[in-house]
Amino acid sequence: MSERNTIVRSMHDAGLAAWFGGSLAGAVGINGAAADLPDPTQRLRVATTGWARWTPVNLAAIATHLVGGAALLQANKGRVATQKGVGASTVTKLVLTGAALAVTGYSRILGKKLENAEGAPVEGGTEPAATTPPAAAKAQQQLKVCQWLIPALTGGLVVVNALHGEQQRPDQQLAGILEKPAKWIRAVA
């Protein structure tokens, strides 16, 4: 019936899992651990160092996810074009991916700003203190939003992937593919 795409599907899913899990672990673990340090001038250093160590792994995970996703899209282009609902869920997935990429990139820009502010007193990785310089405090406040947007967006991708899996069931494929011609026949009749 259809050829298997085990390798590219694994790349797609493992990359997304690392992107989602790493961002969630960082928000909870890295930023949380930094807030526990007794010296407020060391908290930012710990948080930014942890995130900097994660960045190359995250980049590899995202690239792996994107390569796998592009290959899956190519392999399933016929279903995307003809099966009811697959095109819409694919567009949703592309929008979520674009948004997650944008927020991830912007988070890295904010992280670099905070790296430059190391030594400033803070409450935590994304929590400014009353004495935190205004530019660093602003970056922290923006990063606080971004750190939760990334797992929300990538978690949304996990949900759309589950939908795509359901849409690949043989009974869903046939019904979805026959839906469009059936509408045309009803319209003509």
Q: Is residue 189 part of a domain?
A: no
User: What distance lies between CA 99 and its chain's CA centroid?
Assistant: 8
Mean pLDDT, the chain, rounded, equals 91
Domain containing residue 138: 6-184
Q: How many CA atoms lie within 13 A of 189 on its CB side?
A: 6
Q: Is residue 1 part of a domain?
A: no
Percent of the residues in the chain that have a pLDDT greater than 90, as a whole number: 79
Q: Is residue 31 part of a domain?
A: yes
Q: Which two tokens stand for residue 69?
A: 């996703």
Confidence of residue 146 (pLDDT cuts 50, 70, 90): very high
Q: Is residue 14 part of a domain?
A: yes
How buried is residue 77: exposed, middle or buried, by Cβ count under 10 Å (0-12/13-18/19+)? exposed
Q: What is the pLDDT of residues 22-75, one digit of tens each?
A: 999 999 999 999 999 999 999 999 999 999 999 999 999 999 999 999 999 999
101 pLDDT more than 50: yes
Characterize the bridge pairing of strands 122-124 and 127-128: antiparallel
Closest CA to 154 of 29, 79, 58, 54: 58
Q: Is residue 114 part of a domain?
A: yes
The number of folded domains in the chain is 1
Q: What is the pLDDT of residues 28-39, one digit of tens each?
A: 999 999 999 999
2 pLDDT more than 60: no
Given this model, what pLDDT does residue 147 score? 96
Q: Is residue 91 part of a domain?
A: yes
Q: What is the pLDDT of residues 153-188, one digit of tens each?
A: 999 999 999 998 888 766 655 555 566 666 667 777
